[in-house]
Structure 1
Amino acid sequence: MAEFYRFPHWALTTLVMAAALCIVFQTRAISYSIRRLPTGWVRRVENGMECAILGMLFLFAALLAQVQYGLFCGFLAPSAYGLVRQAVFLLTAVLGTTAAVGMELIWPFFAVGGAAVLLPLTETVTGPAYPVFFLMSMAFFLLRSVHICVLRRRELYTQLSSVSVKEAIDTLHTGLLFFRRSGELLLCNRSMEELARQMTGQPVQDGRLFQRLLECGPLCGGCAREVLGGQQVFRLPDSSVWSFSAHELPMGRQTMLLLTADDVTEHWDAVTFLARQNQALEQRGQELRSTIAHLQAICEAEEIARSKARVHDLLGQRISLLLRALRDDRQMDESLLLDFARSLPTALREDRTPSPAHRLEMLRETFQGMEVSVEFQGALPEDGAVADSFAEIAVECVTNAVRHGYATRIQFHFFQNDCWRMTVTDNGIPPAGPIREGGGIGGMRRRVRQLGGRMELYTVPRFRIELSVPKEAVEK
Structure 2
Amino acid sequence: MSELLASGAFFRIALMGLAALALLFEVFLSLELGLQRERPGLRAARFAEFFIGFYLLGAFALLLTVHCRGYAGTEAVAPLAPWRWLAAVPLIFLGAVSRRPADLSGAFFAAASLPCFDRARFFAPLFVLGLLFFALRAAWRDARERRERRRSVTRASIKEALDRLPDGILFSDPAGRPVLANRQMLLLAETLTARPLRDGEAFWQALNGGALREGVERIALADALLFRAGGQSWEFSRRLLDVKGRAFSAIFAACVTETDRLTRELQKLHEELAARAEALREAGAALAAVKREQELARLQGRIHDMAGHRIYLMQQYLQRGGENLRDLGRFLPLISGLIDDLRADVTAPAARLLADLQRSFGFVGVELTVEGRLPRDERQAAALIKILREASTNAVKHAGAARVAARLERNARGLVMRVVNDGTAYDAAAPLRENQGLAGMRRLAAEAGGTLEIATSPRFTVTVKLPPEENEA
TM-score (norm 1): 0.51
Amino acid aligned to 2:272:
A
Amino acid aligned to 1:92:
L
Which of 130, 134, 159 is 1:137 aligned to?
130
Q: Is the CA contact 2:173–2:247 (under 8 Å) kept in the aligned structure 1?
A: yes
Deviation digits for residues 105-155 of structure 1 (CA, Å, limit 9, x no counterpart): 443222322333553334x2436x534322211111121122223333443
Larger Rg: 2
**1:259 to partner: Cα distance:** 3.8
Q: Is the CA contact 1:172–1:191 (under 8 Å) kept in the aligned structure 2?
A: yes
Matched, 1:110 2:102: no
Q: Quote the RMSD (CA, aligned, Å).
A: 4.7
1:280 to 1:188, Cα distance in 2 relative to 1, 3 A: same
Q: Out of 12-21 and 157-166, give the one that drifted further.
A: 157-166
Residue equivalent to 2:438: 347
SS in structure 2 at match of 1:280:
helix
1:268 to 1:142, Cα distance in 2 relative to 1, 3 A: same
Deviation digits for residues 38-58 of structure 1 (CA, Å, limit 9, x no counterpart): 443x44323321233233333
Amino acid aligned to 1:86:
W
1:49 to 1:259, Cα distance in 2 relative to 1, 3 A: farther
**1:61 to partner: Cα distance:** 3.2
Q: Is the CA contact 2:192–2:212 (under 8 Å) kept in the aligned structure 1?
A: yes
Q: Is the CA contact 1:173–1:191 (under 8 Å) kept in the aligned structure 2?
A: yes
Residue equivalent to 2:115: 120
Where do residues 35-434 of structure 1 align in structure 2 (5 Å cutoff)? 38-40=38-40, 42-67=41-66, 77-100=76-99, 105-117=100-112, 119-122=114-117, 124-126=118-120, 129-158=122-151, 169=162, 172-181=165-174, 187-189=180-182, 192=185, 224-235=217-228, 237=230, 239-251=232-244, 257-265=249-257, 267-295=259-287, 335-338=425-428, 341=431, 344-345=434-435, 346-351=437-442
1:254 to 1:229, Cα distance in 2 relative to 1, 3 A: closer
Amino acid aligned to 2:137:
R
**1:173 to partner: Cα distance:** 4.7
1-side partners of 2:448 and 2:263: how far apart?
Answer: 46
Q: Out of 171-180 and 44-53, give the one that drifted further.
A: 171-180
Deviation digits for residues 211-251 of structure 1 (CA, Å, limit 9, x no counterpart): 66656677678765444445213345363534343543515
**1:260 to partner: Cα distance:** 3.2
Deviation digits for residues 358-380 of structure 1 (CA, Å, limit 9, x no counterpart): 9xxxxxxxxxxxxxxxxxxxxxx
2-side partners of 1:246 and 1:22: how far apart?
Answer: 53
For structure 2, the residue ranges without an aligned partner over 5 or more in a row are: 296-423, 450-473
1:243 to 1:344, Cα distance in 2 relative to 1, 3 A: closer
2-side partners of 1:216 and 1:70: how far apart?
Answer: 82
Residue equivalent to 1:26: 26
Q: Identity of counterpart residues, as a percentage?
A: 24
Q: Is the CA contact 1:242–1:262 (under 8 Å) kept in the aligned structure 2?
A: yes
**1:30 to partner: Cα distance:** 3.5
2-side partners of 1:287 and 1:351: how far apart?
Answer: 33
Q: Is the CA contact 1:247–1:258 (under 8 Å) kept in the aligned structure 2?
A: yes
SS in structure 1 at match of 2:232:
coil
SS in structure 1 at match of 2:26:
helix
1:224 to 1:63, Cα distance in 2 relative to 1, 3 A: farther
Deviation digits for residues 136-178 of structure 1 (CA, Å, limit 9, x no counterpart): 1111112112222333344344565667656665665544444
1-side partners of 2:60 and 2:215: how far apart?
Answer: 59
For structure 1, the residue ranges without an aligned partner over 5 or more in a row are: 304-333, 359-476
Amino acid aligned to 2:120:
T
Q: Is the CA contact 2:171–2:251 (under 8 Å) kept in the aligned structure 1?
A: yes
Amino acid aligned to 1:276:
K
2-side partners of 1:21 and 1:357: how far apart?
Answer: 111
TM-score (norm 2): 0.51
Q: Is the CA contact 1:243–1:264 (under 8 Å) kept in the aligned structure 2?
A: no
1-side partners of 2:215 and 2:4: how far apart?
Answer: 70
2-side partners of 1:18 and 1:185: how far apart?
Answer: 50
**1:349 to partner: Cα distance:** 4.7
**1:337 to partner: Cα distance:** 3.2
Q: Out of 271-280 and 27-36, give the one that drifted further.
A: 27-36
1:300 to 1:45, Cα distance in 2 relative to 1, 3 A: same
SS in structure 2 at match of 1:234:
strand
SS in structure 2 at match of 1:126:
coil
Deviation digits for residues 278-305 of structure 1 (CA, Å, limit 9, x no counterpart): 22222223323443454467789999xx
1:202 to 1:342, Cα distance in 2 relative to 1, 3 A: closer
SS in structure 2 at match of 1:78:
helix
Amino acid aligned to 2:23:
I
1-side partners of 2:68 and 2:181: how far apart?
Answer: 51
2-side partners of 1:218 and 1:66: how far apart?
Answer: 75
1-side partners of 2:89 and 2:198: how far apart?
Answer: 47
2-side partners of 1:352 and 1:234: how far apart?
Answer: 65
Deviation digits for residues 372-405 of structure 1 (CA, Å, limit 9, x no counterpart): xxxxxxxxxxxxxxxxxxxxxxxxxxxxxxxxxx
Q: Is the CA contact 1:249–1:258 (under 8 Å) kept in the aligned structure 2?
A: no
